[in-house]
Amino acid sequence: MVLPILDGHAGCDKQFTTIENNALDIIEFVNSKLGGSVLMMGGLSLGGQILLETLSQRKDICKYAIVESVLVIPSKFTYSMIKLAFGSCYGLIKYKWFSINHADDYVRKLLEIVKRR
């Protein structure tokens, strides 16, 4: 299962660029380190958007995908607002009080489910 840490999040020192660039990085990682495909990939919120982009570029990269809280209908207005919001809040991501803990809870619960199987 692949649950990547997003650029600019959780102590990652690489700055976030675009959803497309993150998807390409994931594809490159899976190709070079994991033989070109995995059983499962997961993504929540922005991570889910990156996962959808990854799947749009390489539909055979995984057998199963868990995607939650993503925009699946393209919207120019929403895209422009997201770009503005990320641009204005990016510097705050490094502060724990600003981080959204639902992703941590989501990953923790998902790992509990995986361990039970």
Residue 43 backbone phi and psi in degrees, to 5: -160, 140
Is-above-0.85 flag for pTM? no
Confidence bin at 79 (pLDDT 50/70/90): confident
Tokens of residue 86, six digits: 């990320």
Question: Which pLDDT score, from 0 to 100, does residue 105 have?
Answer: 64
Encode pLDDT of 92-106 as tens digits.
Answer: 766 666 666 556 666
Question: Which pLDDT score, from 0 to 100, does residue 22 have?
Answer: 92
**DSSP codes of every residue in 29-80:** HHHHHSTT-EEEEEEETHHHHHHHHHHHH-TTSEEEEEEES---S--HHHHH
Angle at the Cα of 71 (from 97 to 29), degrees rounded to 5? 75
Mean pLDDT over 77-91 rounds to 74
